[in-house]
Amino acid sequence: MASMPHSSTSPLKLLKAQNSFLRSPNLPPHFDIVDLLTIDISNLVNSKISSVTHLYINTNESLKYLNKVLNQLPNKPQALIIDIFCTQVFEACKDVILNIPVFTASTRLLALSLFLPQLERDVEGEFVDLPHLVQVPDCEPIEIKDLLDQIKNRDVSFRRR
């Protein structure tokens, strides 16, 4: 049986990095973060459930209040970016998100996507040829091999459409 490579980055470190990015002054203007409410789910979980099940229950219960939170915002959301674990948002907020684009992304991919226009201005040539890691503000450096193929090679014709 092959074992999965073990990451030296702890979940707590990743959470701190994610929170640092989401609170960063480097985010574009009018990019507002809406935190899910913290819900007491102690009556719904026990020590025998998996962490994924715990995450699902926590997210599901928190999303029950997201519709109300979004409706109370001073400005209607123009887009919604959700974590891959929050796809329940489609059902929970269907009347609010009916006419806006919804994106599912990891925080790291989101950070890279927001930084990409600046990176394209700063880097001459192909990203695949960079001799160093890609440094995205408020994130750990990204190895070139970990970039999406569409980002590594700027000559790909569909990138310029």
In this prediction, residue 43 carries a pLDDT of 93
Report the predicted TM-score, pTM, of the whole model to 2 decimal places: 0.49
CA 30 vs. chain centroid, Å, equals 17
In this prediction, residue 111 carries a pLDDT of 80
% residues pLDDT > 90 (the chain): 3
| Distance in angstroms (rounded) separating the CA atoms of residues 144 and 37 | 36
Question: What residues form DSSP beta bridges with 82?
Answer: 104
| Distance in angstroms (rounded) separating the CA atoms of residues 51 and 39 | 16
154 pLDDT band, cuts 50/70/90, is low
Q: What are phi and psi of 130, to 5 degrees?
A: -60, 135
Cβ atoms of 65 and 59 closer than 8 Å = no
Would you kindly state where each structural domain of the chain is located, as residue ranges? 11-104, 107-160
- The per-residue pLDDT for range 35-83, each reduced to its tens digit, is 778 889 999 988 888 877 887 788 888 888 888 888 888 877 777 777 6
- Please say if the pLDDT value at position 143 is more than 60: yes
- The per-residue pLDDT for range 103-125, each reduced to its tens digit, is 666 777 778 877 888 888 888 88
